[in-house]
Amino acid sequence: MNPSALELRPVGQSGLEISVLGLGCWMFGGQEGDYWGGHDEREAHNLISAALELGVNYFDEAEMYNSGRSEEALGRVLKGRRDKAVIGTKINPVHCATGRIRERLEGSLQRLQTDYIDIYMVHWPIRDFPVQAAYEELMTLQSEGKIRVIGVSNYGVQDLGEALATGMSIGINQMHYNLLSRAIESEVVPLCVERGVGIMGYMALLQGILSGKYHTIDDVPPIRLRTRHFRPDRPDSRHGEPGAEAEVNKALAEIREIADGLGLPMEQLALAWTASKPWMTCVLTGARTPEQLRSNWEGITRVLPADVMAKLDAVTEPLLRKLGNNPDYWQSGANARIR
Ligand SMILES: NC(=O)c1ccc[n+]([C@@H]2O[C@H](COP(=O)([O-])OP(=O)(O)OC[C@H]3O[C@@H](n4cnc5c(N)ncnc54)[C@H](OP(=O)(O)O)[C@@H]3O)[C@@H](O)[C@H]2O)c1
């Protein structure tokens, strides 16, 4: 492996560059009962060391991940090597009341043991507070050097347009994107490209489902089956749609066949496809072990021929049509949170 081969891509028009593979740190600081279960800090340490060796410099956080323990763990693990990392973290929109953003940002800075956040994102669109005042506060904090680049996450065209209209410069829009979740392609991507906003894709392996390690959907941990891909009677599902399990199964079988034909592990093919999208700034995966991270790195660094890209687009098209253009994969109709 040659770490220098990991490409850096520009974060919109901000001047900042990040590695095309980013490490999602949601599981850091996890305890039994948390979404990803318990996570040993030595494992986090090993993951960060492996990531830096591989040329991965972007680490993705949020104040809400494991109630702040994830940021704390990353802060401890990055001690003495903060300058090698680009840290992104997110503010929960329920904390975006006028005048309150500063204290939330200070909390993240303290937990991460740093003086500045490289990319500070609004985790979901702000619904309960005046957006103009919130974006002005973010711009003030940026002018003080506490934030390098302002970003958003889960912003559809309406929310993104509204945020850009305030004059705020947005470096990145972080969105759910993978072979089985392509809704952003129709509207969000074209707007981001037109306005110079970078795109970061999260859940690039659909929480492990695209790694090919599950033989059937019923083998997947139930908590990972809440999205619109799956039946509404799955535990904790809240979308109320019929799901698209037949299309998911068919797409997975065809992706597996293409991967086998190329002699590639499925996760590598899925990640290579995502990184090959010309508008993709950074692909986030939540690797649990350095081994998973290395395999993901190998996938990201592969260049897929145009005919393989086209084939993958084609075999996932029926699922895309069935699930439609709603980029909110957890909620739908009037409850969809992405506008
Ligand atoms: N902005 C948002 O609203 C939002 C939402 C979700 C996530 N995110 C960010 O995106 C990051 C990544 O998302 P994610 O963690 O949900 O998704 P992901 O990368 O699709 O899934 C992570 C899981 O996939 C499995 N995995 C990863 N690499 C693998 C490999 N090479 N082989 C086999 N299995 C592999 C591991 O599962 P096992 O546990 O089974 O080993 C890991 O826990 C998060 O950490 C977070 O930073 C943002």
H/E run at residue 112 = helix 101-112
74, 207, 271, 301, best to mutate for ligand 1 pocket (most atoms within 8 Å of CB): 207
d(CA 114, CA 119): 13
Burial 247-271 (b: 16+ CB within 10 A, else e): bbeebbebbeebbeeeebbbbbbbb
Ligand 1 atom 16: the closest Cα is on which residue?
203
Ligand 1 pocket, residue 284 CB under 6 Å = yes
Among 320, 296, 77, smallest CA distance to 204 is for 296
Count of other CB atoms within 10 angstroms of residue 218 = 10
CB 202 within 8 A of CB 174: yes
What pLDDT score does 1 carry?
Answer: 52
d(CA 297, CA 14): 25
Distance 123 CA to ligand 1 centre (A): 17
Burial 308-323 (b: 16+ CB within 10 A, else e): beebbeebbeebbebb
Beta bridge partners of 147: 117
Ligand 1 pocket, residue 208 CB under 6 Å = yes
CB 36 within 8 A of CB 30: yes
Ligand 1 atom 26: the closest Cα is on which residue?
208
Ligand 1 atom 34: the closest Cα is on which residue?
208
What pLDDT score does 201 carry?
Answer: 98
- pTM score above 0.75: yes
Distance 22 CA to ligand 1 centre (A): 11
Q: Residues 7, 12, 13, 14: what is their CA dihedral angle, to the nearest 10 degrees?
A: -80
What pLDDT score does 224 carry?
Answer: 96
- In a 13 Å sphere around the CA of 67, the CA atoms on its Cβ side amount to 4
Distance 131 CA to ligand 1 centre (A): 30
For every residue of 201-270, which 3-state class applies, written as one string?
A: EECCCCCCHHHCCCCCHHHCCHHHCCCCCCCCCCCCCCCCCCCCHHHHHHHHHHHHHHHHHHCCCHHHHH
Q: Residues 219, 222, 225, 226: what is their CA dihedral angle, to the nearest 10 degrees?
A: 170
d(CA 101, CA 136): 10
Ligand 1 pocket, residue 22 CB under 6 Å = no
List, for the chain, all residue ranges whose pLDDT scores fall below the cut of 50: none
Among 72, 1, 84, smallest CA distance to 48 is for 84
Give, in order, the Cα–Cα distances in Å from 153 to each of 115, 217, 294: 23, 28, 26
Strand bridging mode 8-10 / 17-19:
antiparallel
214 is catalytic: no
